[in-house]
Amino acid sequence: MRAAVVVFPGSNCDRDMVVALRESGADVTTVWHKDADLPVNLDLVVIPGGFSFGDYLRCGAIAAQSPICRSVVNHANRGGYVLGICNGFQVLTETGLVPGALMRNSGLNFLCKTVHLIVETADSAFTSGYVQGTEIQVPIAHHDGNYFATDAELAGLRDEDRVAFSYSDNPNGSCDAIAGVLSSNRRVLGMMPHPERAMEPEMGSTDGQALFRALVGQTITA
């Protein structure tokens, strides 16, 4: 699998993401936000966590308008895989690749801790390495992770089995305790928790490994 990690000014999880993908067997490169084009024959684009453009205007709003994001949207529309973690999830909602929006945590505090997630579906390239209903431990680190979507959108997500992960103890006030959602073609995943920070026993959890191993096993080129 060929993967690219997009780097914005303010990204801070890009190198962790490169390591997680490489350790899982992917051929990884990084691309700068001002690049207009993605590398050719790419399978996966990852938008990593961080504070792109200082979270100005709204989290992810400026990044979503950058030149590289037009290519990311085109990649997704061609059926390519896209993974957005934390700030990357916020960017994906701002581009419209996944529904909803991320608002300020309901308790107003920045949350940085390991949480329990429930795997809501194993029916995606990202989650096929888990058993549906399993609880996994993955860290969160965000101020704006309170997932909001309209009642109609939430019903649609449930009906189409597009909630990938939910929190077992909703820490940020998210609608339906949603932690991650899939696009309608199930090839775009946005999630607030950081699976790339749960890759080694020294990190406190290895539960992120199954996501990357399953994903890297996909070889369909967009």
Partner 1 sequence: MKAIVTVMLKKGVLDPQGEAVKFALGGLGFLGVNGVRQGKMIELDLADGTDTAQVDEMCTRLLVNAVIESYTLEIL
* Cα separation, 168 vs 206, whole angstroms: 18
Using CB under 8 A, pick the residue from 15, 29, 61, 111 that binds partner 1: 61
CA angle 67, 72, 77 (to 5 degrees): 130
Q: Tell whether residue 156 is a contact of partner 1 (CB under 8 A).
A: no
Residue 171's SS3 state is coil
The reply to whether 196 belongs to the active site is yes
Interface with partner 1 (CB under 8 A), residue from 14, 16, 55, 94? 94
Minimum Å gap between C-beta 8 and partner 1 is 16
Of positions 148, 200, 203, 205, contacts partner 1 by CB under 8 A? 148
Rama region for 201: left / alpha / beta (φ>0; ψ in -120 to 50; rest) = alpha
Cα(147)–Cα(123) distance, rounded to whole angstroms?
21
Residue 183 C-beta: closest distance to partner 1, Å? 15
Q: Which is nearer to partner 1, 93 or 127 (CB)?
A: 93
CA gap 46, 153 in Å, rounded:
24
Nearer to partner 1, 101 or 141 (CB): 101
Inter-residue contact 164 to 97 (CB < 8 Å): no
141 binds partner 1 (CB under 8 A): no
Active site residue 86: yes
Q: Least distance (Å) from partner 1 to the CB of residue 150?
A: 8
Count Cβ atoms below 10 Å from residue 190 Cβ, excluding itself. 30
Q: According to the binding rule CB under 8 A, does residue 170 interact with partner 1?
A: no
Bridge-based pairing of strands 178-182 and 163-167 is antiparallel
Amino acid letter, residue 132: Q
Whether 142 is catalytic = no
Which listed residue (33, 86, 94, 142) is catalytic? 86
Residues of this chain that bind partner 1 (CB under 8 A): 57-58, 61, 65, 93-94, 99-101, 103-108, 146, 148-150, 173
Query: What are the residue numbers of the active site?
Result: 86, 194, 196
